[in-house]
Amino acid sequence: MSGYNKLVRINDEHTSLYIADQVKDKDSRYHGGIINKTTGIPSPSHVGTSSVIGTWVCSYVNKDSTYFHQQALAERLTDALDYMLNQQHEDGTISPGWTNYHSPPDTAFIVIGFAQVYHLLQNDGANLLAEKVTLFLVRSIPAMLTGGCHTPNHRWVLTAALANLYAIFHDPALKQRAEEWLREGIDISEDGEWTERSNGIYNSVSNICLYYTASLLDKPALFTYIRKNLDMMRYLVHPDGEVVTDYSGRQDLGNAYDLSPYHLIYRLMAFKDANSEYMAMADQALEKINDIGPVNNHLMLGYLTFPHIQQEHITRADLPKTYELLINEDYNIKENLHKMEMVGHHANIKHSSMHTSFGAPTVRYRKDDVSVTIMGMNPSFFSLRYGKIKLLGTQLYTSFSPGVVEFDSIKKIDGGYRLSTVLEKGYTGPLPQSTSGDTSIWYLLPHQLREATHVQTFSVWVDIIREGENWNIHIHADDLQDVFMQVVFIVDSSTVIAGTGIEKIEDNHYFWKKDSLAMQNGQDKIMITAGAFEHWQPSLGDIHVTNNLTFYRVNLLSPTDKSFKLFLSRCMSP
């Protein structure tokens, strides 16, 4: 089955699925909206009712759909669009309902998709439906011309929305506003990493939005940034099709995501560049698709808006299955963090995050069904997938700077990599006399003027060495005595764990006091040596707990020189 045919089938299935969820009570303020399965309340957001509208319009205008020109579907679309217009505020924005009230970027997500909906309805001659979409778009223009953002990717969402509106209404002010956002420059490293390091969600948002912007505003240089990320993502996919989320700066952190959101942009760029690797990546994404996508990255809308990608003449290349590379090796993150001190915001900005881990070094290793990630500036520094076994993270905590250690450097060494950092902690003296005032309220005092005293440092480094098919994690700490340390191994709960040195602390949490730890899932097996119990502390920092994870804690005391050897093997079938 071709990609197009598969998406037509999925789109039709979702068209049917959402019909039962539409609010039909005409006295309800939610009349016409689609009930959210989690909240029980409709939302006009790009993942809510507006996405369903995209799905229904695709079924309605597509001759290959079983719903083509069905009057009953047109009536439901009318009600759904009326709901969207009723939810639109006087300032042209919408509020998703769970956050971001009167939100320009959330409105921009919808504008992107509704611009495509507008063209499809216009071409189909569905004038009454097109007029409702046009009204929503016209109303949104003031918010798009004045509205701001929360996150780095929101800039490109707003830019894409402005570009789409400009292509329809030809107002120069729309293009000028888009240019204002673009003048900030594009936030991507040379190796293709976006600021938010969100392989599961926001990479694909920035990619597809820049594609629309580049196409509609004639900005071919923007395609270069898209290519950088698409090239990088070839190496950030596990053997089972999950993407690497172990170091994300957003809500996909540590959760399971696949390539589905990348399907449309890989397909578009495959045809633009005649790129056989991009086409193969699009195919890999297609294998996992069971949802048609939000309205701004709606797969069926994309295939109907850009019908040339329905063809299958681009060849497919073999994707890399054996590789080892250090991403962002040459990115000078320390220099940029130093520059940040000079900017003046003092790492205090409203409604957003600084994303100071952008550009941090990351190692990716893969050989067939072994997939390893080594991470700098991240709560977890090592993860390993072997067949069905998922060692999802390895963390190091200390009592020196209480909490998790994030290594700020990764360097190549003989046989592997060294992660290192120097922790610093001290005390502060009295305020200079010239700053004394009439208050001693702690938060009103100019603490930045205090002189540091008795500053101490604590050096920690980890050598990760590959020894054939096996791995060695060697943890070192300097000679400062009696710093409590704890290594935490985080394992997917579907993996069976056995060992004589395991002692339960509480649900999902165990001390690993001695001897080996055996992990097994099906025929796949990892043996790790060896546990330790040099102090009694159950925890040295907060650990985010979910029901599908188990935690094995090894207690160490500085000075530290401790190795964990991971032996990978496969049991023979009976």
Residue 261: pLDDT band by 50, 70, 90 thresholds? Answer: very high
Question: If we measure between CA atoms, which residue out of 121, 109, 129, 123 comes closest to residue 51?
Answer: 109
H/E element, 75: helix 71-87
Q: Residue 134 is encoded by which pair of tokens?
A: 């046009």
H/E element, 121: helix 104-124
Full strand arrangement of the beta sheet holding 470-477: 409-413, 416-428, 452-467, 470-477, 560-570, 524-529, 516-521, 496-498
Q: Residue 308 is encoded by which pair of tokens?
A: 């040339």
In the block, residue with structure tokens 């939302």: 43
Give the side-chain half-sphere CA count within 13 A for 294.
Answer: 23
Backbone torsion region of residue 522, taken as left when φ is above 0, otherwise alpha when ψ lies between -120 and 50, otherwise beta: left
Rounded-to-integer distance, Cα 451 and Cα 236, Å: 45
User: Can you give the residue ranges of every domain in the chain?
Assistant: 3-322, 369-570
**Looking at the predicted structure, is the pLDDT value of residue 440 above 90?**
no
Alpha-carbon distances, residue 446 vs 9, 434, 435, 437, 486 (angstroms):
64, 11, 8, 10, 35
Q: SS3 of 214, please?
A: helix
At 523-533, the pLDDT tens digits run: 999 999 999 99
Q: In DSSP terms, which residues pair with 389 in a beta bridge? A: 386
Q: What is the CA radius of gyration of the chain?
A: 27
Residue 154: pLDDT band by 50, 70, 90 thresholds? Answer: confident
**Looking at the predicted structure, is the pLDDT value of residue 182 above 60?**
yes
Residue 146: pLDDT band by 50, 70, 90 thresholds? Answer: very high
For helices 3-19 and 276-288, the axis angle rounded to 10 degrees is: 30
E strand segments, 409-543? 409-413, 416-428, 452-467, 470-477, 484-492, 496-498, 502-506, 509-512, 516-521, 524-529
Predicted local confidence at residue 252, as pLDDT: 79
At 445-497, the pLDDT tens digits run: 888 889 999 999 999 999 999 999 999 999 999 999 999 999 999 999 899 99
Residue 574: pLDDT band by 50, 70, 90 thresholds? Answer: very low
Residue 545: pLDDT band by 50, 70, 90 thresholds? Answer: low
Residue 354: pLDDT band by 50, 70, 90 thresholds? Answer: low
* Percent of the chain's residues with pLDDT above 90: 80
Contact call for residues 78 and 72 (beta carbons, < 8 A): no
Contact call for residues 378 and 409 (beta carbons, < 8 A): no
pTM (whole model) above 0.75: yes
DSSP code, position 46: T
Predicted local confidence at residue 305, as pLDDT: 98
Rounded-to-integer distance, Cα 507 and Cα 510, Å: 8
Better-predicted residue by pLDDT, 359 or 372? 372
Residue 270: pLDDT band by 50, 70, 90 thresholds? Answer: very high
Better-predicted residue by pLDDT, 413 or 343? 413
Residue 573: pLDDT band by 50, 70, 90 thresholds? Answer: low
**Domain at 3-322, CATH from 1.50.10.100, 2.30.29.30, 3.30.465.10, 1.10.1040.50:** 1.50.10.100
**Looking at the predicted structure, is the pLDDT value of residue 134 above 50?**
yes
* Percent of the chain's residues with pLDDT above 70: 94
Residue 265: pLDDT band by 50, 70, 90 thresholds? Answer: very high
At 68-114, the pLDDT tens digits run: 999 999 999 999 999 999 999 999 999 998 788 899 999 999 999 99
At 188-202, the pLDDT tens digits run: 999 999 988 999 998
Weakest-pLDDT range from 1-5, 72-76, 144-148, 203-207: 1-5
Average pLDDT over residues 311-335: 89
Q: What are the φ and ψ backbone dihedral angles of 7, each rounded to 5 degrees? A: -70, -35
Alpha-carbon distances, residue 82 vs 101, 106, 119, 498 (angstroms):
20, 18, 19, 59
For helices 263-273 and 222-233, the axis angle rounded to 10 degrees is: 120
Alpha-carbon distances, residue 199 vs 407, 409, 410 (angstroms):
21, 21, 21
Please provide the average confidence, as pLDDT, over all residues in the chain. Answer: 92
H/E element, 146: helix 127-146
Rounded-to-integer distance, Cα 474 and Cα 457, Å: 21
Predicted local confidence at residue 345, as pLDDT: 65
Question: If we measure between CA atoms, which residue out of 63, 71, 73, 69 comes closest to residue 14?
Answer: 73
Alpha-carbon distances, residue 67 vs 5, 17, 412 (angstroms):
15, 13, 58
